[in-house]
Amino acid sequence: MIVVMKPDASGTQIETMAQQITSLGLTPQVIRGEHQTVVAALGQERPGLAEALETGEGVEKVLPIMAPYKRASAEVKKDRTVVKALGLEVGGAKVAVIAGPCSVESEEQIVAIARILKGLGATALRGGAFKPRTSPYSFQGHKEKGLQMLAAARAATGLAIVTEVMAPEHVPMVAEYADVLQIGARNMQNYQLLQAVGDSGKPALLKRGMSATIEEFLLAAEYILDRGNPDVILCERGIRTFEDHTRFTLPLATVAYLNEKSHLPVVVDPSHGTGKSSLVASMSKASVAAGADGLIIEVHEDPKRAASDGAQTITPAAFGQLMAQCRRIAEAVDRTM
């Protein structure tokens, strides 16, 4: 931790800061510059330390040095994490493809689309039984019945089930049916939910909050890892910016950056990331080229009749083309798909 003192900080203020650092269990080192003095605080940084120091008198700002996440860090764990669930494997040489409708609508629908998607190369099935909706008047999902429909689709195809859980008290129920528990973007900092998923023993797919920094994203993963659950898949799904031609802005540098900083696998959601079906294939290709370990894509037999998210959903035919195109990109980066 580096404490930058104000240019007019007094000798007493500097000395007091050094004492405060000592009292916090770190070792102070005073560096007197021509214009300003800084006090380094040597030792293990920990959350809250910067906050504690920056209220000192004569302090201009406090600059942290170490990243605040630990278990998610590539420095702490050198080998990359591969998350496995049934036939799904995220983080290995093969690019994972999690596909399916936004909402589970009926057993016939979900079984039929699961069969089609499996035939086209999907490695897991997505589908919402609990739906977080902006308006209380929108369709909220079939809940436990939806989970049973997903289980039927798994029985019919062998595909792993990826589905969202929205509240801590639902975790045991959803974990009974699902192979991977998805935490939605709006819940990325719902800490009770993160802890409950951490305790569930099931792999988690954690979506980035729409205005979360990468540090906050990795600290949210840390909440799950800290409960002893090592199986966290990070998912970039787009952030909120001033752009208005897409539903969100999809920043693919996230993929390469997370690959540098963390050992956790990274998937991209080009459906929510763009909000426009015509852009999904291009962004899927770009994601694979950027080094993503997987894709999560909304597919519906008839997007016009989808219970939710129709505008960003593609047809099975479009999905088949996307798979063929992405496979070529995967090969060009020495992976399979």
Q: State which of positions 243-302 bind its own copies (CB under 8 A).
A: 243-246, 249-253, 255-257, 260, 273-274, 276, 278-279, 282-283, 285-291
Per the CB < 8 A criterion, the answer to whether 61 and 50 are in contact is no
Q: Which is nearer to its own copies, 157 or 184 (CB)?
A: 184
Q: Which is nearer to its own copies, 85 or 209 (CB)?
A: 209
Hey, which residues between 37 and 56 contact its own copies (CB under 8 A)?
38, 40, 42-44, 46-48, 51-52, 54-56
Sign of the torsion angle spanned by Cα atoms 79, 175, 96, 236? negative
Rg (CA), the chain: 23
Stretch that binds its own copies, among 80-88, 116-124, 129-137, 146-154 (CB under 8 A): 129-137
> From the CB of 86, what's the least distance to its own copies, in Å?
28
197 forms part of the interface with its own copies (CB under 8 A): no
Per the CB < 8 A criterion, the answer to whether 17 and 28 are in contact is yes
**C-alpha to C-alpha distance for 299 and 314, rounded to whole angstroms:** 5
Q: What order do you get walking across the sheet with 59-63 strand by strand?
A: 27-32, 37-42, 2-5, 59-63
> From the CB of 139, what's the least distance to its own copies, in Å?
7
HSE, side-chain direction, 13 A CA sphere, residue 222: 17
Q: Which of 82, 112, 177, 189 binds its own copies (CB under 8 A)?
A: 189
Q: Which of 19, 106, 145, 169 binds its own copies (CB under 8 A)?
A: 169
Return the ∠ at Cα 173 (arms to 172 and 178), rounded to 5°: 95
> From the CB of 57, what's the least distance to its own copies, in Å?
8
> From the CB of 336, what's the least distance to its own copies, in Å?
13
Q: Which is nearer to its own copies, 157 or 163 (CB)?
A: 163
332 forms part of the interface with its own copies (CB under 8 A): yes
- Among the listed residues 300, 335, 302, 331, the one whose alpha carbon sits nearest the alpha carbon of residue 99: 300
316 forms part of the interface with its own copies (CB under 8 A): no
138 forms part of the interface with its own copies (CB under 8 A): yes
Hey, which residues between 53 and 92 contact its own copies (CB under 8 A)?
54-56, 63, 65-66, 68-69, 75
Per the CB < 8 A criterion, the answer to whether 41 and 1 are in contact is yes
Q: Which of 159, 296, 306, 323 binds its own copies (CB under 8 A)?
A: 306
Residue 11's CB is within 10 A of a number of other CB atoms, namely 9
Q: Which of 240, 317, 321, 336 binds its own copies (CB under 8 A)?
A: 240
321 forms part of the interface with its own copies (CB under 8 A): no
- Please provide the DSSP assignment of 47-107 as one string: TTHHHHHHTSTTEEEEE--S-S--TTBTTT--SPP-EEETTEEESSSBPEEEEE-SB---H
> From the CB of 75, what's the least distance to its own copies, in Å?
6
HSE, side-chain direction, 13 A CA sphere, residue 246: 21
Q: Which of 109, 157, 187, 271 binds its own copies (CB under 8 A)?
A: 187
Q: Please list, in sequence order, all residues whose beta carbon lies within 8 angstroms of the beta carbon of residue 132, skipping any fewer than 6 positions away.
A: 164, 166, 184, 186, 187
